[in-house]
Structure 1
């Protein structure tokens, strides 16, 4: 399956993609931004997207899992499968 590029994402997916890319590049970008009522809002959203508490936690856990698996695979020098391109 080919990777999905940023230009292929929906308007709702794009802010989350940008946020995850910032986190993976080492920038501090907290998911816990709140609006004027104190409700959690989505990443880079400017108040337009609301992912709620579980919607903000899930990407963080997914990033942590991805990073952990990546570290283990790199530590043991696991090669890519032949069809990985």
Structure 2
């Protein structure tokens, strides 16, 4: 491989790396904006009297597969029963 080919590959790799980094930076900016939007909606929910901790739990549960969610809920019920919490 000639020095010219190595230099060209280095230049192409550097340009590709720069593009990847810039894409990640743009996505990080978008993520920050979305996180701020979510905070605003949660603040609105709290202002209307909703329990934001419960809302976050519901959102987490809705992301799960129904069978996984049922298994988790059954395990929690079992543990609560074992501890005399029911």
**TM-score between both structures, scaled by the size of structure 1:** 0.32
Structure with greater Cα Rg:
2
Larger RCO of the pair (alpha carbons < 8 Å, separation 6+) = 1
Between Structure 1 and Structure 2, which shows a larger proportion of helix residues? 2
